[in-house]
Structure 1
């Protein structure tokens, strides 16, 4: 996706472009599923509910956060794809995180749920034709083509998997 594809280019969209690199949406989504399938579940289980710093989310909550926000972004994509165009006000990830029961769920459950949600996301985006994918989406301070929502989903995973690698994996000692 090129920078010129978005009329308003919020800072997060710049980050999305950087994380995804020069790749087609379908390829980015399928690659993100491969990354989910490559997760070392045993390593995550050894880390358990440890965090690298007080008041940071556990790996369980990070995975639940990825699942929740993928569903939110897909809901937004469907609204735009179907011409609804009415997007609910912004949501607070901290409130959502503190009200999740992710720490009660197994890593296997969360990884499997993330995998299934991603498979569903891939099928949804594959079902959209070019006209739908190019639909202009305006909400909050954002304006972007609908396909950029798919890239936002993959970039979100890349970002959080980088956090896991840099800050959580060292806890497995």
Structure 2
């Protein structure tokens, strides 16, 4: 079982994500979230996918696309840090979303893409040794351990599921 990272293993910003993850097996939580998020997003209509709760806010599809981008980014950082102490640049989520064209991608395909990406990441995480989980690197000018990114994957998803429930009225 992967133990919860200490607060000095991630940036203060990431504390909000790590703090959302319950004290249970994080890999089992990632697997459970993969399935429940897939069920949620694959059940939506295209009209629901195009909904934004306020002007200038992301649509459901854009928010799910952001979740996929972040899933890949956090997993990439975990993989790189597990093999090499290095510094990686940050990424601007708003620039990524603004430069993503989801017009030809259905909400159901995005749900499939999220599920597939998460499954791939779970296999990668299961392959990390205890030593690799404690390795670290710099991302967005802050130190992170590999296990911090594992928890951040779950916490970021939980964060957005809360937003979907509270602001979009889904979930």
2:21 is matched with 20
Distance, in Å, in 2 between the alignment partners of 1:114 and 1:8 is: 26
Query: 2:81, 2:146 within 8 Å by CA — same for their partners in 1?
Result: yes
Displacement of 1:125 in angstroms is 0.2
Displacement of 1:92 in angstroms is 1.0
Count of residues paired in the alignment: 168
Please give the secondary structure, in 2, of the residue aligned with 1:104.
Answer: coil
Structure 1 unmatched runs, 5+: none
Q: Provide, for residues 83-120 of structure 1, a one-character-per-residue CA deviation record: whole Å limited to 9, x for no partner.
A: 1x333321111111011012431011100000000000
| Counterpart mapping for 1:83-102 below 5 A | 83=84, 85-102=85-102
Query: 2:10, 2:142 within 8 Å by CA — same for their partners in 1?
Result: yes
1:55 is matched with 56
Q: TM-score, normalised by structure 2?
A: 0.87
1:137 is matched with 137
Please give the secondary structure, in 1, of the residue aligned with 2:19.
Answer: helix
2:37 is matched with 36
Please give the secondary structure, in 2, of the residue aligned with 1:20.
Answer: coil
Displacement of 1:169 in angstroms is 2.2
Runs of 4 or more consecutive aligned structure 1 residues displaced over 4 Å after TM superposition: none
Distance, in Å, in 2 between the alignment partners of 1:40 and 1:140 is: 30
CA 1:132–1:8 in structure 2 vs 1: closer, same or farther (change >3 Å)?
A: closer
Please give the secondary structure, in 2, of the residue aligned with 1:13.
Answer: helix
Structure 2 unmatched runs, 5+: none
CA 1:156–1:62 in structure 2 vs 1: closer, same or farther (change >3 Å)?
A: same
RMSD: 2.0
Is 1:164 matched up with 2:164? yes
Please give the secondary structure, in 1, of the residue aligned with 2:40.
Answer: coil
Distance, in Å, in 2 between the alignment partners of 1:119 and 1:40 is: 16
Query: 2:52, 2:168 within 8 Å by CA — same for their partners in 1?
Result: yes
